[in-house]
Every structure is written in C-alpha cells, then in structure tokens.
Amino acid sequence: MKNIFKIHPLTYIICLIFILLGYFKLYISFFTILVIHELGHIIFSLIFKWKIKQIIFLPVGLLLKFEDNLNKPLFEEFIISIMGIVFQLIFITFFNNKQLIISSNIILIFNIIPIYPLDGSKILNILLNKITNFKNSYFLTLLISLITIIIILSISLINLSLLLIICMLPLLKNIIDLFCEKNKVFFKFLLERYLYNFKFKKSIIIYNLNDMKRDYYHYFYINNNKYSEKEMLKRYFNYKI
C-alpha cells in the first residue's frame, strides 16, 4: 500500500516554476481541484471494486493505474470516468471562490481533451467501443490522442508556451509507449476472455478474433461451422503455444 503513490519528476519542475513566478497560491488551487477531481474517480473505483495499482501525480493531474482486467463493463468505466468532473463541479458549488472557479474551469476544459489518459479520451474510447471492436477502438483512441498532442505541441511551440509544452511531453511519451505495446494489450484482452468466465447479457456472431468487442459474448461462423468464444480462443492459444 505504501508504494501506491508516485510523483512524476516533471511535477516537481512545474511546482518550482509556479513558485518562482509567484503563482504558488494558483498552483495550490489547481492542486486542490485536481485532488477533488481524482477523489471522484477513486471513490467510484472502490464502489465498483476496481483494484487501484498506483496513483501517479502528473503535472496535469493524477493518473490512476488499475490491476483489473480490460474486460470491465463499459457502464462502470463510464461512471468512473465522469465522476471526476461531477465531484469537481459539486466542490465548486459549495466553495464559491473566484480562484478555485478559474482553476476548475481550466482543469475541466483540459480534462475533456481527447488525449489518453485524460477523461476525454476515456469517454471517447467508451463511445468507440460501442461502435466498433476492441482492437479498433483502442487504436483509434491512441491515434486521436497522438494527433491532438501534435496539434497542441505545434501551437505551443509557435506561441512559446513553455508550461504547456512541459505538460504535453509526458503525455506524448505515454502515447508512444502505448502504441508500441498495442499488440500486447490486445493479446491481454483475448487472454482474459479465455481464462476467465465473464458474464455478458448480449451476444453477437462474428467471423474473426479481431472483431471481438467489450460487453459481448461471441459466436463464430467459420466454414459453415459454429464455434463458441471459448472454443475459438482455445484453438488460438493452443496454436500460439
């Protein structure tokens, strides 16, 4: 439990910059809103019994890492994703302070940007999972995140916005790392479905493992034969082994 909290090195740099520029009170108000925001995520993660592996303090907020599988219900993920914003708005309603309101609005706008792991990207990923399969939705979320970061970094470089550049750099590195590991993530998604007995209310017929979706049980039609999800995954992993 003592190792659950981690502070990213750039967070110290951002804090120091605010202090040197004489904006320490502004930073405290930002940090307060960020903590309240993340409390919304944390509390509902615990309600849904999601296991929190690590809480990382980033320059742009807190990043929660979970030990749980990739096949959690989309509804639960949606509720957890929006509860940060909900807690933030409730807090501002009760503490009607001008500085806190300004900080809250900035954080709110920043958080809805579709860059992983910000809330905007998580909500985007949930919507994409409703439209397409897991593999495509994950790739598109990363792609949109990368394009968004490149646009923001380009604007920041033109305007010499050093603070925004520093905030974007760890997010850019994170996206690049995730792109490199996207096949591992999909393999983990399939492996979980093979090892554990998830209960889904809905089922669909597909023809390829790449078409597998979250929140659905799958049946496969191949060469006029019908196979269950477990049968197909067993064949797949036996072949891999």
* pLDDT tens digits along 24-33: 777 777 778 8
Among the candidates 52, 79, 111, a domain finishes at 111
Rounded to 10 degrees, the C-alpha dihedral 182/185/191/195 comes to -170
Other beta carbons within 10 angstroms of residue 21's beta carbon come to: 11
Residue 228, beta-bridge partner list? 219
Contact 55, 63 (CB under 8 A): yes
Among the candidates 111, 130, 162, a domain finishes at 111
pLDDT given at position 76: 94
* Domains identified in the chain, total number: 2
Q: Is 104 helix (H, G, I), strand (E, B) or coil?
A: helix
Q: How far apart are CA 17 and CA 215, in angstroms?
A: 45
pLDDT given at position 99: 74
Residue 146, CA distances (Å) to 66, 104, 157 in order: 22, 25, 16
Q: Is residue 130 part of a domain?
A: no
Q: How far apart are CA 75 and CA 92, in angstroms?
A: 26
Q: Are strands 216-222 and 225-228 parallel, antiparallel or unpaired?
A: antiparallel
Q: Is residue 88 part of a domain?
A: yes
Please name the amino acid found at residue 112.
I
pLDDT digits (tens, 9 = 90+) for 115-144: 988 889 999 999 999 999 999 999 999 999
Q: How far apart are CA 102 and CA 86, in angstroms?
A: 16
Q: Is residue 216 part of a domain?
A: yes
Same domain? 4 vs 107: yes
Domain that holds residue 9: 1-111
pLDDT of 7 over the 80 cut: no
Pick the closest to residue 71 from 188, 204, 229 (CA basis). Answer: 188
Q: Is 51 helix (H, G, I), strand (E, B) or coil?
A: coil
Among the candidates 86, 111, 136, a domain finishes at 111
Q: Is residue 181 part of a domain?
A: no
Least confident of 2-6, 54-58, 116-120: 2-6
Percent helix, percent strand, percent coil in the chain, to nearest 5: 65, 15, 20
Same domain? 107 vs 18: yes
pLDDT of 1 over the 70 cut: no
Q: Is residue 143 part of a domain?
A: no
Top-confidence residue, 69 or 63: 69
Q: Is residue 19 part of a domain?
A: yes
Q: CA 161, 171, 187 angle in degrees (round to 5)?
A: 160
Q: Is residue 102 part of a domain?
A: yes
Q: Is residue 227 part of a domain?
A: yes
Contact 169, 10 (CB under 8 A): yes
Helices 24-47 + 74-94 axis angle, to 10? 140
Per this entry, what is the length of the chain?
241
Which residue bears the tokens 């790392």?
177
pLDDT given at position 15: 73
